[in-house]
């Protein structure tokens, strides 16, 4: 049931799905239990693409929990948000410093093969992200305002980028096998360079998508403004025609003429002027946004270059 439907009810155990709950609703949901309340957080839905690219693969259950809590805390707003999720206090009994140093030394001495595998996992995650963005570009909600020709060119470009990324990943896997066979050195440096190049290309794709979204919003705002302006102009013509027909001096006609001249026609014209003023900055910025979208979507010459 919803949180609103559960108001006034109590249960021994409460299971709460935390996505999209504001602080007040979350507090009401977490106080329905007599014994235990369990909060379920869908980390994949709450983390942004930038967070996933920056943090990489999840490293165990503890890391997954901390990332889910951090992403969820960022969605909470209001004066009580800082009281609902707080860091866990440090334990009173601390671990032996010698054991901590030994654990740090052991972590530093991990096999180089694991580091290479982590880099490959990161590259695979980047490829999956690029593929997801390609699927978004095919959606009617992605680049629906582009022309058919521009949309086809964009899809071809994104498809080529994903295929090139797959080729880069295969090359990185080949280097990993050679590294396992022949040792580190140049192979490891090459893998790191490939990873950095993939990350830079993904950042370029994200920038292009943001520019396209801004351009689409501006185009939609202009289209809606034109429709509103046309409705207002049509209403202005209707009122003007009605005013011309009120030629007699009967009291009802005089009252209606005064209402048209002093209230309705000035109101329509004022709304038209406000609409023009609101759309003027958008129209002025549209060429710059179109140019920014073209530049952001243009591939650099050295992107995805071969060996």
CA distance linking residue 55 with residue 77, whole number of Å: 24
pLDDT at residue 304, as a whole number: 43
pLDDT value of position 146: 55
Q: Mark which of 162, 186, 218 sits at the end of a domain.
A: 218
Same domain, 275 and 179: no
> Do 131 and 174 sit in the same domain of this protein?
yes
- What percent of the chain is predicted at pLDDT more than 70? 71
List the one residue out of 120, 124, 128, 127 whose CA is nearest residue 176: 120
Whether the predicted pLDDT of 105 surpasses 70? no
Burial string for 248-283 (b: 16+ CB within 10 Å, else e) reads: eeeeeeeebbeebeeebbeebeebbeebeeebeeee
Rounded-to-integer distance, Cα 137 and Cα 131, Å: 10
199 and 272 housed in the same domain: no
Q: Domain range holding 235?
A: 222-293
Does 305 reside within a domain?
A: no
Beta bridge partners of 14: 37
Q: Are residues 155 and 247 in the same domain?
A: no
Give the whole-angstrom CA distance, residue 16 versus residue 35.
14
Pairing mode, if any, of strands 11-17 and 33-40?
parallel
- HSE (side-chain half, CA atoms, 13 Å) at 33: 14
Residues 192 and 131 occupy one common structural domain: yes
pLDDT in tens, 281-295: 877 877 777 777 677
Confidence at residue 307, expressed as pLDDT on a 0 to 100 scale: 41
Counting the structural domains of the chain, the total is 3
Does the pLDDT value for residue 306 go beyond 50? no
Q: Given a cut of 80, is residue 240 above it in pLDDT?
A: yes
d(CA 127, CA 166): 7
Q: Is the pLDDT of residue 108 over 80?
A: no
Cα angle for residues 294, 296, 299 (degrees, 5° grid):
95
Count the neighbouring beta carbons within 10 Å of the beta carbon of residue 21: 20
Q: Are 69 and 85 in contact (CB under 8 A)?
A: yes
Query: 209 and 230 share a domain?
Result: no
The mean predicted confidence, pLDDT, of the chain is 73
Please indicate, yes or no, if residue 299 is contained in any of the structural domains. no
Same domain, 214 and 241: no
The backbone region for 305, taken as left when phi is positive above 0, alpha when psi lies in -120 to 50, beta otherwise, is beta
pLDDT tens digit string along 138-158?
554 454 445 667 666 776 787
pLDDT category of residue 22 using cuts at 50, 70 and 90: confident
Together in a domain, 271 and 190: no
Q: Are residues 174 and 212 in the same domain?
A: yes
**Same domain for 237 and 209?**
no
C-alpha atoms less than 13 angstroms from C-alpha of 203 in its C-beta half-sphere? 8
Residues 204 and 272 placed together within one structural domain of the fold: no
Is the domain of 161 the same as that of 69? no
Among 198, 218, 238, the domain boundary falls at 218
Using the predicted structure, report yes or no on whether residue 112 has a pLDDT greater than 80.
no
State pTM to two decimals. 0.31
In a domain, 214, yes or no: yes
Last residue of a domain, one of 186, 218, 250: 218
Q: Is the model's pLDDT at 90 over the cut of 70? A: no
């Amino acid at each position: 049931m919803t949180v609103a439907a559960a108001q006034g009810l109590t249960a021994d155990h409460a299971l709460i799905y935390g996505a999209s709950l504001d602080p007040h609703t979350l507090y009401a949901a977490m106080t329905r239990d007599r014994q235990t309340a369990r909060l379920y957080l869908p980390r994949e839905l709450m983390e942004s693409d930038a967070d996933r690219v920056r943090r990489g693969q999840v490293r165990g259950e503890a890391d997954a929990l901390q990332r889910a809590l951090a992403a969820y805390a960022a969605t909470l707003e209001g004066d009580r948000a800082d009281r609902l999720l707080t860091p866990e206090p440090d334990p009173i009994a601390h671990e032996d410093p010698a054991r901590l140093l030994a654990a740090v030394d052991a972590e530093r001495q991990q096999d180089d093969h694991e580091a290479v595998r982590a880099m490959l996992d990161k590259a695979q995650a980047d490829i999956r992200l690029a593929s997801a963005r390609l699927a978004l570009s095919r959606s009617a909600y992605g680049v629906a305002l582009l022309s058919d020709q521009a949309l086809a060119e964009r899809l071809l470009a994104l498809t080529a980028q994903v295929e090139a990324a797959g080729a880069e990943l295969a090359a990185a896997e080949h280097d990993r096998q050679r590294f396992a066979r022949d040792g580190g050195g140049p192979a490891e440096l090459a893998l790191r360079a490939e990873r950095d190049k993939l990350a830079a290309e993904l950042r370029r794709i994200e920038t292009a998508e943001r520019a396209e979204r801004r351009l689409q919003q501006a185009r939609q705002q202009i289209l809606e403004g034109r429709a509103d302006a046309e409705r207002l102009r049509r209403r202005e013509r209707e009122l003007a025609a009605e005013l011309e027909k009120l030629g007699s001096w009967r009291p009802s006609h005089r009252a209606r003429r005064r209402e048209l001249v002093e209230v309705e026609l000035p109101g329509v014209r004022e709304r038209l002027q406000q609409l023009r003023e609101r759309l003027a900055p958008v129209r002025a910025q549209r060429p710059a946004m179109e140019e920014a979208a073209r530049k952001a979507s243009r591939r650099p010459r050295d992107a995805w270059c071969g060996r």
